């Protein structure tokens, strides 16, 4: 096991705790931050909600490694801070959106695929600068998400995304703070 990746997953799991099934969450039920759709993508037709409910930390780590580190190609990112930011952004917003944030930061077409053009463009930037640019893209993404989602599934008069915004922005801010440490 790669200790650096395990440390990233420690941070992800600090943010993603236990079983959550909120009617106002468009992602549906999750356990340890793993959605049922992601769970099904790994376990196929054998996946059940009961299986997701009983997801162990070890199984969640394996899913995170496979779906949010290996599959999107984040092991190709050399800078540890940028890799951590992309993995966490991928967990919260999807790996494709995390890659698009990186691509916009390094000024290449944002197709959501981490390929040779993106990696070549990345090489032309200082790592800390890219981390700052990706953080900025992430914060702008969150702003677009919050203001664009006016659904109110729980009928309390507050748009659902607005109710979760503080947690999302706090999570993004923690990465900004880490860069100053």
pLDDT digits (tens, 9 = 90+) for 29-41: 999 999 999 999 9
Q: Supply φ then ψ for residue 168, to 5 degrees.
A: -65, -45
Same-domain status, 114 and 62: no
The per-residue pLDDT for range 47-67, each reduced to its tens digit, is 999 999 999 999 999 999 999
**Can you read off the two tokens belonging to residue 20?**
């959550």
d(CA 146, CA 168) in angstroms, rounded, equals: 10
Q: Supply φ then ψ for residue 73, to 5 degrees.
A: 90, 20
Domain that holds residue 141: 78-181
State the CB neighbour count (10 A cutoff) for residue 142: 19
Q: What is the pLDDT of residue 150?
A: 53
The per-residue pLDDT for range 102-131, each reduced to its tens digit, is 999 999 999 999 999 999 999 999 999 999
Same-domain status, 61 and 84: no
CATH number at residue 139: 1.20.141.10
Same-domain status, 67 and 82: no
Same-domain status, 94 and 48: no
Number of domains in the chain: 2
């Amino acid at each position: 096991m790669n200790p650096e990746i395990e440390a990233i997953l420690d941070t992800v799991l600090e943010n993603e705790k236990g079983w959550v099934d909120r009617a106002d969450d468009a992602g549906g039920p999750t356990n340890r931050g793993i959605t049922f759709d992601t769970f099904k993508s790994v376990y196929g037709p054998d996946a059940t909600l009961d299986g997701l409910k009983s997801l162990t930390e070890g199984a969640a780590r394996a899913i995170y490694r496979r779906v949010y580190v290996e599959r999107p190609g984040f092991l190709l990112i050399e800078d540890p801070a940028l890799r951590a930011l992309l993995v966490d952004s991928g967990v919260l917003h999807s790996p494709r959106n995390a890659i698009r944030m990186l691509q916009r930061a390094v000024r290449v077409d944002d197709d959501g695929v981490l390929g040779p053009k993106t990696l070549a463009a990345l090489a032309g930037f200082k790592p800390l600068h890219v981390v700052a640019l990706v953080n900025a893209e992430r914060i702008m993404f969150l702003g677009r998400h919050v203001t664009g989602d006016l659904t109110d599934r729980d009928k309390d008069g507050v748009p659902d995304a607005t109710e979760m915004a503080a947690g999302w922005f706090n999570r993004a801010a923690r990465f900004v703070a880490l860069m100053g440490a």
